Amino acid sequence: MRNIFKNITETQLWKSIFRHGYEDTPRNRALQILGNVFLHLHPVRITRLGVKLKHTWCMGGITFLLFIILTITGVLLMFYYRPAVEHAYWDMKDLEFVVRFGLLLRNIHRWAAHLMVITIMLHMFRVFMTGSYKPPREFNWVLGVILLVLTLLLSFTGYLLPWDQLGFWAITVGTNMARSAPVIGHEGPLGELVGTTAYNDLRFALLGGSQVGANALLRAYVWHCIGIPIIAIVFMAVHFWRVRKDGGISGPL
Amino acid sequence: MENLLKILSKPDNVAIIIMMVMVGFFGFFAFFQAFKNDRKKASAKEEKNKFEKEKIHTWPYLARKEFLVAILVVIVLLAWSIFVDAPLEEHSNPNLTPNPAKAPWYFLGLQELLVYFDPWIAGAIIPLLIIVGLMLIPYIDINPRGNGYFSFAERKFEILIFCFGFLVLWISLIIIGVFMRGPGWLWFWPWQEWDPSRVVAEINVDLTQLFGVNSRSTPGFLMGGSIIILYFSVGMIMLYLYLRKKKPNLLHKLGLTRYLISSFLLWSMIGIAIKIIMRLTLNIKYIWVTPWFNI
């Protein structure tokens, strides 16, 4: 048995994939983090406080995990969904009744999205309550606020996609706000002075029209599946990198 | 009561129940830890800090916790998804407006503000102030203490302000928007039936009308404008004088720019709360009416 194991672990193939053994030595513990592209987001060594759940609540980590879950389920949903007015709603029905585990897939996506909004708010609350935005971490807090806004926008654009009454009117109510923005909204103060109309204002840009229709559905879809995720990934990369560069996970100075 | 159960059992509102439970728990937990840290004697704190600053290996001490949390979250999410189905209502119909038509739950706080403010304030200015204000926090808070651990005693003022904004204004307005607002965006208590034909005869007045001045006349315009301007300028000057007397060092360190920005944001936030209370108790619609905008 030991010989078979040895024969396998000493092949060129095995060694090319796994760079170190599994014996529990300090060296291997360090290599486990350093030699793994995913784990090496972490430092090799971390303060005792940084490991404690009562200090971090793990809310940032859970938010990131939910983003990954949402990406995976989202890609799977994209196989079954067409962002066109005549198909969108019926594709949702198919997901519910025809596609195997389709309903479960959609449920996971929706509840994970709600949960992500909750956990990102609690992450912000924790960071505030521990004063972790104070120097040298000021800028990472700013990035965090941007990520919070992006998360809300991701959730908001996804709301329209089922093309049912719930999403349609929620988006109508939500984007109506844009029409009242000062200057760039046609019903907002000063809008008329600079020539803003219902056909060139902020709401028009968001919806690709003066009301929620086919263009709005397509725009929501593209922003939801491609535009905002790409922007969010860039900001996340910087956010995580800055955690390391700004002195690691927060703790008493 | 039946109506409350109906709202509670709406699938999307499960998320809001979870939010209320989690915010309640973590809100309590944060203060619990803050007070616990504050109670500790200085020497014991020093000792503990030293211990906690010691470094240990990420693998396995952190990695194993992360994997466990990930498994737990996935289990909870799967269970939630198995037992509660995501809502799918009828096909969208631009000709059939539901009553009430509500935005997604996390924006209901802003939608609720529409009762108290015109859309350009509730939907554009206030969100902008929230986002910019949040981003500015690290730059206007110059208190170096309480960096990296829970504490209340070392930063009472900051924490009170933030919790007022987050818990009172943001979270509770969401809860009101979800549970208390029925057809016509009228206020319904949880035990009241949502009656779409209900009419509430409220006569909204502008603040200047309480003093017998027509808000749409020139004197009304001048009076309303001066109330707003006086509110901000007196508030900012009084706070300045107070700080100069009581905490001159703080004011000196803060500098004029930081003071102006932070006191403006502070008085705006308090102003929102004041307007909400005035609308709910005195039916005040506008404070300042101008031909271009109303506040």
Q: What residues contact B9, with CB distance under 8 A and at least 6 apart?
A: none
Are A180 and B123 in contact (CB < 8 Å)?
Answer: yes
Kindly give the residue spans of alpha helices, DSSP state H, lying in chain B.
2-8, 11-39, 42-53, 58-61, 63-83, 108-113, 119, 126-140, 156-163, 172-175, 207-210, 218-246, 248-282
Long-range contacts formed by A225-230: CB under 8 A, 24+ apart: A225/A74, A225/A78, A228/A150, A228/A153, A228/A154, A228/A157, A229/A71, A229/A154
Tell whether B83 lies on the interface with A, counting CB pairs under 8 A.
no
Query: What stretch of H or E contains B55?
Result: strand B55-57
Dist CA B201 CA A34 (whole Å): 69
Closest by CA position to B149, among listed B20, B51, B278, B30: B30
Handedness of CA A133, A134, A135, A139 (dihedral sign): positive
Question: Looking at the predicted structure, is the pLDDT value of residue B17 above 70?
Answer: yes
User: Touching check for A214 and chain B: CB below 8 Å?
Assistant: no
What are the CB-based long-range contacts (under 8 Å, 24+) for B224-228?
A: B224/B286, B224/B287, B224/B288, B224/B289, B224/B290, B224/B295, B225/B288, B225/B290, B227/B287, B227/B288, B228/B287, B228/B288, B228/B295
CA distance B193 to B182: 9
In chain A, what percentage of residues exceed pLDDT 90? Answer: 66
Q: Do A212 and A220 touch, CB atoms closer than 8 A?
A: no
CB B65 within 8 A of CB A53: yes
Given an 8 Å threshold on Cβ–Cβ distance, is B148 in contact with A132? yes
Mean pLDDT of chain B: 90
- Residue A113, classified by CB atoms within 10 Å of its CB into exposed (0-12), middle (13-18) or buried (19+), is buried
Higher-confidence residue: A85 or B213? A85
pLDDT for position B1: 66
* pLDDT score of A80 more than 90: yes
**B107 contacts chain A (CB < 8 A):** yes
CB contact under 8 A, A118 and B151: no
- % of residues, chain B, pLDDT over 70: 100
Chain B residues in contact with A51 by the CB 8 A cut-off are 56, 61-62, 65
The residues facing A164 across adjacent strands are: B91
pLDDT at A166: 92
pLDDT, averaged across chain A: 92
Query: Over the stretch B45-99, which tens digit does the pLDDT of each residue have?
Result: 778 778 888 899 998 899 999 999 999 999 999 999 999 999 999 999 999 988 8
Which run of H or of E encompasses B56?
A: strand B55-57
What's the average model confidence in pLDDT over B263-273? Answer: 95
- Chain B positions in Cβ-Cβ contact with residue A251 (cut-off 8 Å): 52-53, 148-149
Residue A121, pLDDT score: 96
Q: Of A102-116, B9-23, B89-103, which one has max mean pLDDT?
A: A102-116
pLDDT value for B277:
92
Provide the 10 A C-beta neighbour count for residue A231.
16
CB distance from B139 to chain A under 8 Å? yes
CA distance to A5, A15, A18, A24, A27, per residue, from A11 (Å): 10, 6, 11, 22, 22
CA distances from B30 to A60, A185, B150 (A): 16, 41, 7
Contact B28, B215 (CB under 8 A): no
Instruction: Name the residue among B88, B141, B293 with its Cβ closest to that of A96.
Output: B88
Residue B152's nearest CA partner among A246, A161, A128, A63 is A128
Contact with chain B for residue A163, Cβ under 8 A: yes
Both structure tokens of B256: 């004029």
Greater confidence (A67 vs B218) lies with A67
* Residue A154, C-beta contacts closer than 8 angstroms, at least 6 positions apart: A113, A224, A228, A229, A232
What pTM, to 2 d.p., does this model score?
Answer: 0.94
| Of A187 and A148, more confident | A148
Which amino acid is it at B87? P
Q: Read off the pLDDT band of B291 (50, 70, 90).
A: confident
Q: Which domains does chain A have, with CATH numbers?
A: 1-45 (no CATH), 53-245 (1.20.810.10)
Between CA B285 and CA B140 the distance in angstroms is 33
Cβ atoms of residues A149 and A142 within 8 Å? no
Chain B residues inside the 8 Å CB shell of A40: none
What is the rounded distance in angstroms from the CA atom of residue A236 to the CA atom of residue B142? Answer: 26
What pLDDT score does A223 carry?
A: 96
What is the pLDDT averaged over residues B148-164?
A: 92
**Subunit contact B26:A122, Cβ cutoff 8 A:** yes
pLDDT single digits (tens) A119-172: 999 999 999 999 999 999 999 999 999 999 999 999 999 999 999 999 999 999
Residues β-bridged to residue A47: B55
If residue B57 lies in a helix (H) or strand (E), which one and from where to where?
A: strand B55-57
> CB-based contact (8 Å) between B80 and chain A?
yes
Cβ–Cβ gap A165/B66 under 8 Å = no
CB pairs under 8 A between A and B: 275
d(CA B212, CA B48) in angstroms, rounded, equals 65
| Res A132: pLDDT | 94
Distance from CA of B236 to the nearest CA of A (A): 25
Question: A interface mutation test: which of B23, B88, B150 has the most A CBs within 10 A?
Answer: B88
* Binding-face residues of B in 108-127 toward A, CB within 8 A: 110-111, 118-120, 122-125
Give the ipTM of the model, two decimals please. 0.94
Per the structure block, which two tokens stand in for B285?
A: 């619609």
Q: At what angle do helices B248-282 and B126-140 cross, to 10 degrees?
A: 160
Tens of pLDDT, residue by residue over B90-142, are 999 999 988 888 889 999 999 999 989 988 899 889 999 999 999 999 999 99
